[in-house]
C-alpha cells in the first residue's frame, strides 16, 4: 500500500480544500497536506534506496529510482509552492485581484495538479501514464486562466490547444509501441506495462519502434517545452499565478521529460542507443539555441524565466543524449537543480510583481534597497540558474560537459562545443537584464519592505536546497542518481 497511500494524499488534500469554505483554514490545510506528502516522499525514497524498486497491485504501480527522483521534485517544489501560495494569494486577495470564493478552487486544482504529476511517476502502464500527462493539462488550464482576464484566457486556450495536439501525437507513439510489441507480447492485459515491455524490447519490430519514438519525442516534447514545440510555454508561465509558474517550470516539464525517458530506454534496448540519443541531442541543442535571442532581448522577467526553462530542458535532453555514465548522472541531477533554482526565481518574480505591479524589467529598479531579502535571494538565484561556480547548476553542468568532452565521438564534441558558446551568450543576456533591476535608485513611490513572512519562508526553503547541493550531494541522492544511470545504460 506504500504507493497507493502516496497517491491518495494529494487527492485527500484537494477534496478537503474545496470542501472548507473559509480561506483562513483551507490555506493551512493545503500547507499541512503538502508537508505530510514531503515527509512521506522521504520515507518512500529510503525504501527505494534499500530495495531498488517497488511494485503494487500486480505490477500496475511501479516505482524505481527514475520515478522517485521525479516524485521527489514534485513533493519538494509542491510544498514550497503551497507555502508561497499562502503569502502570494493573500496579498493578491487584499488587492481584490479575484473574489475570495475562487481560492477554494485554486487550492483544489493545485493539489489535483500534484496528484496527476505523481500518477505520471508511479504508474507502470504506458497508456495510463499518457492519461495522467493529459490530466495535468486539464487540471492546470483553469490555473493559467485563473484571473479571468483576456490575456490570461488567451494563454490558457493556447496552452490547452498546443498541448492537446502534442499529447495526441504521443498517443500515436504509445499505439505504435504496442503494435511493435504485439508479436512478442500478444494481446494481453499487461501489454503496455513498462517493465514487461522492457524485458522483451530487443525483439520488437524495429521500424515501428523508430516511428513510435519519433511521435513520443515530438508529442511529450511539446509538453516538456522542447523547441520548436515550445510555443505555449512563455505565455502560460507568464500569465499563471507565480506559485503555479514555479510548478510548471520546476515540475511539469520534468514529468513530460520522464515520459520521454521511459520510451528512450525501451527504444535503446530495441534499436541500440544511437537513434534515440541522436534525437535527444538534436532537440536539446535546438532548444538551447532557440532560447538565446529571446533571453537577450527580453523585457518581461517572467517570460525571461520561461525561456530559460526551455534552455535547461534542452540541456537535460543533451546530457541524456550524450549517454555516458556521468552525463546521465549529471543530467538527472540537473533536473533537481533546475527545479529548485527556477522555482526560487519565480518566487522572486512573484514578490517583484506584488511590489512593483509590473513584469516590465525597465520599470523596476533598486530591488536590493526596496526588498533586501528578496534582492539577495534573487542575486543568488540568478548566479545559480546561469551556472556560476560554485552553485548547484554549475555542479551538474560541469559533470555533463566534462563527461561529454571525454567522449571519442566527433559528433558529441561538436555539440558540446556549441553548447558552451550558447551557455555563455545566455549568461550575458540573463545578467544584463536582471542586474539592472537589482541595483540602481529605487523606483519612485515604492514602499520599502518585504511582502510577507510566508513568501520569504518558501524562498528560504528552496534556497537551502540550492546551497546544499552547491557543495554536497547527499548519499541517498547519489545512490538514486547512480541507480538511474544503471537503469538507462543497462536496459
Could you report the per-residue pLDDT of 328-371, keeping only the tens digit for each? 999 999 999 999 999 999 999 999 999 998 899 888 988 999 99
- Asked if 123 and 132 count as a contact pair (C-beta separation under 8 A), the reply is yes
Neighbouring residues of 258: CB distance < 8 A, sequence distance ≥ 6:
66, 67, 70, 120, 121
Res 186 pLDDT > 80:
no
What is the model's pLDDT at position 187? Answer: 65
Cα separation, 14 vs 113, whole angstroms? 9
**Mean local confidence (pLDDT), 89-100:** 86
Name the pLDDT band for 52 (thresholds 50, 70, 90).
confident
**Mean local confidence (pLDDT), 182-186:** 79
Cα separation, 67 vs 258, whole angstroms? 8
Res 149 pLDDT > 90:
no
**Mean local confidence (pLDDT), 166-180:** 92
For residue 490, how many other CB atoms are within 10 A of its CB? 8
Cell for 148?
A: 479571468
Res 316 pLDDT > 80:
yes
**Mean local confidence (pLDDT), 409-417:** 88
Cell for 115?
A: 496528484
Find the farthest-apart pair of alpha carbons in the chain and give their distance in angstroms, rounded.
72
What is the model's pLDDT at position 290? Answer: 93
What is the model's pLDDT at position 349? Answer: 94
Cα separation, 18 vs 13, whole angstroms? 9
What is the model's pLDDT at position 491? Answer: 63
Cα separation, 10 vs 19, whole angstroms? 14
**Between 199 and 186, residue with greater pLDDT:** 199
**Mean local confidence (pLDDT), 28-55:** 91
What is the model's pLDDT at position 127? Answer: 93
What value does the mean pLDDT of the chain take? 91
Residue 56: phi and psi, rounded to 5, are -150, 155
In this structure, the dihedral spanned by the alpha carbons of residues 349, 355, 357 and 359, taken in order and rounded to 10 degrees, is -20
**Mean local confidence (pLDDT), 104-125:** 94
What is the model's pLDDT at position 430? Answer: 84
**Mean local confidence (pLDDT), 312-318:** 94
- Asked if 184 and 203 count as a contact pair (C-beta separation under 8 A), the reply is yes
Closest CA to 400 of 312, 279, 297, 276: 312
Name the pLDDT band for 189 (thresholds 50, 70, 90).
low
- Asked if 491 and 342 count as a contact pair (C-beta separation under 8 A), the reply is no
pTM as predicted: 0.94
Res 188 pLDDT > 80:
no
Q: Give the residue carrying C-alpha cell 516511428.
A: 211
Is 123 strand, coil or helix? strand
CA angle (71, 76, 77) in 5-degree steps:
100
Please give the share of the chain, as a percent, with pLDDT higher than 90. Answer: 60
Please give the share of the chain, as a percent, with pLDDT higher than 70. Answer: 99
Q: Which of 6-15, 293-302, 435-444, 469-478 has the lowest mean pLDDT?
A: 435-444
Res 80 pLDDT > 80:
yes
**Mean local confidence (pLDDT), 374-392:** 93
What is the model's pLDDT at position 244? Answer: 93
Amino acid at each position: 500500500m506504500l504507493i497507493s497511500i502516496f497517491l491518495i494524499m494529494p487527492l485527500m488534500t484537494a477534496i478537503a480544500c474545496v470542501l472548507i469554505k473559509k480561506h483562513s483554514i483551507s490555506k493551512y490545510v493545503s500547507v499541512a497536506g503538502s508537508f505530510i506528502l514531503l515527509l512521506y516522499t522521504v520515507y518512500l525514497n529510503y525504501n527505494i534506496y534499500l530495495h531498488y524498486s517497488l511494485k503494487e497491485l500486480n505490477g500496475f504501480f511501479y516505482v524505481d529510482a527514475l520515478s522517485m527522483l521525479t516524485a521527489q521534485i514534485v513533493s519538494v517544489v509542491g510544498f514550497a509552492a503551497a507555502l508561497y501560495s499562502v503569502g502570494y494569494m493573500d496579498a493578491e486577495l487584499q488587492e481584490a485581484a479575484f473574489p475570495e470564493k475562487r481560492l477554494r478552487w485554486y487550492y483544489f486544482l493545485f493539489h489535483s495538479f500534484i496528484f496527476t504529476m505523481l500518477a505520471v511517476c508511479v504508474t507502470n502502464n504506458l497508456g495510463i501514464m499518457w492519461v495522467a500527462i493529459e490530466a495535468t493539462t486539464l487540471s492546470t488550464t483553469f490555473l493559467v486562466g485563473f484571473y479571468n482576464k483576456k490575456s490570461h484566457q488567451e494563454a490558457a486556450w493556447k496552452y490547452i490547444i498546443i498541448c492537446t495536439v502534442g499529447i495526441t501525437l504521443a498517443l500515436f507513439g504509445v499505439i505504435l509501441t504496442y503494435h511493435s510489441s504485439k508479436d512478442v507480447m500478444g494481446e494481453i492485459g499487461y501489454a503496455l506495462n513498462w517493465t514487461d515491455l522492457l524485458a522483451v524490447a530487443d525483439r520488437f519490430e524495429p521500424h515501428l519502434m523508430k516511428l513510435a519514438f519519433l511521435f513520443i519525442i515530438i508529442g511529450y516534447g511539446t509538453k516538456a517545452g522542447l523547441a520548436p514545440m515550445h510555443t505555449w510555454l512563455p505565455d502560460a508561465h507568464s500569465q499563471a499565478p507565480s506559485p503555479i509558474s514555479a510548478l510548471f517550470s520546476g515540475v511539469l516539464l520534468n514529468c513530460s521529460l520522464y515520459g520521454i525517458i521511459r520510451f528512450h530506454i525501451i527504444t535503446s534496448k530495441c534499436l541500440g542507443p544511437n537513434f534515440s540519443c541522436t534525437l535527444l541531442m538534436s532537440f536539446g541543442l535546438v532548444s538551447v539555441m532557440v532560447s538565446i535571442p529571446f533571453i537577450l532581448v527580453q523585457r518581461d522577467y517572467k517570460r525571461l524565466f520561461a525561456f530559460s526553462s526551455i534552455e535547461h530542458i534542452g540541456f537535460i535532453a543533451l546530457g541524456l543524449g550524450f549517454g555516458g555514465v556521468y552525463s546521465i548522472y549529471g543530467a538527472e541531477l540537473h533536473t533537481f537543480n533546475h527545479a529548485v533554482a527556477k522555482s526560487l526565481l519565480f518566487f522572486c518574480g512573484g514578490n517583484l510583481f506584488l511590489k512593483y505591479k509590473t513584469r516590465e524589467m525597465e520599470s523596476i529598479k533598486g530591488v536590493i534597497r526596496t526588498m533586501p531579502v528578496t534582492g539577495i535571494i534573487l542575486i543568488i538565484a540568478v548566479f545559480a540558474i546561469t551556472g556560476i561556480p560554485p552553485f548547484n547548476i554549475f555542479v551538474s553542468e560541469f559533470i555533463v560537459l566534462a563527461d561529454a568532452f571525454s567522449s571519442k565521438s566527433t559528433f558529441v564534441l561538436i555539440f558540446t562545443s556549441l553548447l558552451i558558446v550558447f551557455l555563455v551568450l545566455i549568461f550575458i543576456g540573463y545578467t544584463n537584464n536582471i542586474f539592472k533591476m537589482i541595483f540602481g535608485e529605487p523606483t519612485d513611490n515604492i514602499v520599502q519592505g518585504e511582502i510577507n513572512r510566508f513568501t520569504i519562508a518558501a524562498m528560504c526553503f528552496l534556497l537551502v536546497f540550492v546551497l546544499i547541493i552547491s557543495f554536497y550531494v547527499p548519499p541517498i541522492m547519489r545512490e538514486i542518481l547512480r541507480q538511474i544511470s544503471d537503469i538507462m545504460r543497462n536496459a
